């Protein structure tokens, strides 16, 4: 974990640890073995599938990065709510960030992403760095559209000398509405995503179940040229259906 006085993290980048790389590669090899056994019963096919399996760490890296961004998004939402509440109470921006930092540490622990970011901001403010510059720096590193919008409005309001508190309060309210819409979509699609995972696993269970209860039932599919063509077609349809299901459930909030 990064200490408070270390350089801040760039959340646009995700570096796999050795353990994550091993887990991802093991998953790819396991899937290659499952597909080759279920659809082909061929060692040659398994060795061939090891080529795409080698790209599993890159695929999982993207998934884990998106998961971390969702966690950062949730923590950022809490952080700006705390910041807005402190500003509404008449506290200065610098003190509001310091106060919010302590509250975030109680909520997420000192190693949480936003607690570390606010701790870094407090440290840099003590070195006379402008708070709007720190907000813009975090927004750039975060990769979050909401953080970029907030930093842009915060910088304009701070430098223009306008009514900072009402502007920030309105901005936070708009962002909360956006966060709420995202959460509602994720809640509504969570059950469907679970159903999709179950349906994705069903063909393997069905084939393995029939093969275990009636040995030799699928022999013609693995021992003849026509059977291998049919199984290849089934695999293609299966992969296409998985891709389409993922696209349907991937709802983005503009």
- 4: in domain: no
**Residue 85 above 60 pLDDT?**
yes
DSSP labels, the chain: ---TTSPPP-TT-----HHHHHHHHHHHHHHHHHHHHHHT--HHHHHHHHHHHTTHHHHHHHHHHHHHHHHHHHHHHHHHHHHHHHHHTT--HHHHHHHHHHHHHHHH-TTSHHHHHHHHHHHHHTTT--HHHHHHHHHHHH--HHHHHHHHHHHHHHHHT--HHHHHHHHHHHHHHHHHHHHHHHHHHHHHHHHHHHHHHHHHHHHHHHHHHSTTTTHHHHHSHHHHHHHHHHHHHHHHHHHHHHHHH-----
Mean pLDDT of the chain: 86
191 within some domain: yes
Q: What is the pTM of this model?
A: 0.79
At residue 117, the pLDDT reads: 93
Q: Look at residue 148 and tell me if it is in a domain.
A: yes
The reply to whether 60 falls in a domain is: yes
Structural domain contains residue 144? yes
Q: Which domain, by its residues, includes 216?
A: 18-249
111-147 residue pLDDT tens:
899 999 999 999 999 998 888 899 999 999 998 888 9
Total domains in the chain come to: 1
Judge whether 10 lies within some domain: no
Does residue 3 belong to any structural domain of this protein? no
Residue 2 lies in a domain: no
């Amino acid at each position: 974990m990064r200490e408070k006085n270390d350089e801040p993290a760039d959340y646009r980048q995700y570096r796999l640890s050795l353990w994550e790389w091993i887990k991802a590669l093991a998953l790819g090899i396991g899937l290659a073995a499952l597909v080759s056994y279920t659809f082909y019963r061929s060692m040659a096919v398994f060795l061939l599938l090891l080529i795409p399996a080698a790209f599993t760490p890159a695929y999982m890296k993207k998934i884990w990065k998106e998961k971390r961004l969702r966690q950062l998004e949730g923590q950022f939402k809490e952080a700006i709510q705390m910041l807005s509440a402190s500003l509404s109470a008449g506290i200065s921006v610098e003190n509001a960030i310091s106060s919010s930092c302590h509250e975030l540490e109680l909520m997420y622990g000192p190693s949480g992403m936003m607690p570390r970011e606010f701790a870094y901001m407090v440290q840099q403010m003590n070195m006379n760095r402008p708070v709007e510059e720190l907000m813009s720096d975090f927004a750039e590193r975060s990769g979050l559209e909401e953080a970029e919008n907030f930093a842009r409005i915060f910088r304009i309001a701070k430098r223009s000398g306008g009514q900072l508190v009402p502007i920030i309060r309105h901005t936070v309210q708009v962002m909360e509405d956006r966060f709420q819409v995202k959460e509602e979509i994720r809640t509504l699609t969570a059950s469907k995503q679970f159903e999709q995972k179950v349906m994705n696993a069903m063909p393997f269970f069905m084939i393995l179940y029939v093969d275990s209860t009636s040995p030799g039932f699928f022999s013609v599919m693995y021992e003849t040229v026509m059977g291998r063509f049919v199984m290849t077609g089934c695999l293609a349809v299966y992969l296409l259906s998985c891709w389409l299901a993922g696209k349907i459930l991937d709802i983005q909030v503009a």
